[in-house]
Amino acid sequence: MPAGGKPTVRSRRLGAALRRLRLNALLDQEHAAEAVACSTAKISRIESGTVSARVGDVRVLLDLYEVEDAAERKRLEKLARDSNKRGWWLNFPFQSPALDRLGDFLSLETDATYIRAWQPVFIPGLLQTPDYTRALTEANPEVLSSEAADEIVKVRQERRRVFEESGARFAAVIWEPAISGPMPSANVHRDQLAHLIRMAKQPNVTLQVLPHTEWAAARVAPAFVALSYAHEASPEAIVQDTLVNSVILEDHEDMAGYVHAFDALRSAALTPDRSLTFIRKTMNGIIAENEES
């Protein structure tokens, strides 16, 4: 059973996938229970994520549901195997309520193979430099100490390292004011834009700038991150940040509007090449200002 008797993100995702496959196969929980020699109550707990499914049971259920896609079978078996796996963030020497609240989001992000981000105000977290993160953190009224700020910066940079090592695809649309607007210092601004340029050149990263004149497109949705897994382009989770935690949407009907919103944003944004040119021009302007001062 997941720690504390609560569904983990992975067990919940696995359960939802198994339920969807069962319904697609037009079978009820009694059929599933008979196949794995358990009670219907256990199948219900597996599908809700309250109980972690064993890899062997997952294989039996996938056979029952006639799932032949090798990649999909491998993905779901891995979810079963990793459902109670310790998250990398739990290895930090410090722990805090803020870090604990991020656990579900960090688990989702760590497993994702395709991440889409819309940011009208800030640089997306996975693309931030340490100095930029610290500036944002110190401006947050919820962060009351330099130790807490250090914690957030370290976690953000570890998130970036995990992402870069994973090879996941990342597509971001950033509204122009987040790039050209003032930052705490010219050096922070310049270094952050230089890092954006480096990241935009990576084969798995697509970066687009939404011009400030596209104000209608910028208002289609607040900032969000869409997370997809394996070969599925459709997201399995939408994450939105509040001042103190992250809100996670997993209902497919709730997520549909965000998918359409991201498509609209990408259509209204500059192409990746023109976006890179814009960022470079903005950075050069900042360098010129800094040299004049």
pLDDT tens digits, residue range 146-181? 777 777 788 888 888 889 888 899 999 999 999 999
Query: Is the separation of the CB atoms in 94 and 158 below 8 Å?
Result: no
Q: Indicate yes or no: pTM above 0.75.
A: yes
> Residue 3: what pLDDT?
41
C-alpha distance from residue 18 to each of 30, 35, 181 (Å) = 14, 14, 46
Q: Would the pLDDT of 235 be above 80?
A: yes
Q: Would the pLDDT of 263 be above 50?
A: yes
Domains 3-82 and 93-128+159-292 share a fold: no
Please name which of 42, 41, 78 lies closest in space to residue 59, comparing C-alpha atoms.
78
DSSP one-letter code for 247: E
Residue with the larger pLDDT of the pair 196 and 48:
196
> Residue 1: what pLDDT?
43
The letter for the amino acid at 77 is E
Element (H, E) at 206: strand 205-210
Say which CATH topology domain 93-128+159-292 has.
Answer: Endonuclease; Chain A (3.30.870)
The percent of residues in the chain predicted with pLDDT above 90, rounded, is 49
**In the CATH scheme, what is the homologous superfamily, with its name and number, of domain 3-82?**
lambda repressor-like DNA-binding domains (1.10.260.40)
Torsion, Cα of 132, 219, 211, 168 (10° steps): 60
Q: Report domain extents, the chain.
A: 3-82, 93-128+159-292
Residue with the larger pLDDT of the pair 279 and 8:
279
Q: Would the pLDDT of 248 be above 80?
A: yes
Q: State mean pLDDT over 71-82.
A: 85
SS3 annotation, 69-135: CHHHHHHHHHHHHHCCCCCHHHHCCCCCHHHHHCHHHHHHHHHCCEEEEEECCCCCHHHCCHHHHHH
Map residue 280 onto helix, strand or coil.
Answer: helix
Q: State mean pLDDT over 246-269.
A: 89
Q: Would the pLDDT of 290 be above 60?
A: no
Q: Nearest-5° angle of CA 124, CA 129, CA 135?
A: 85
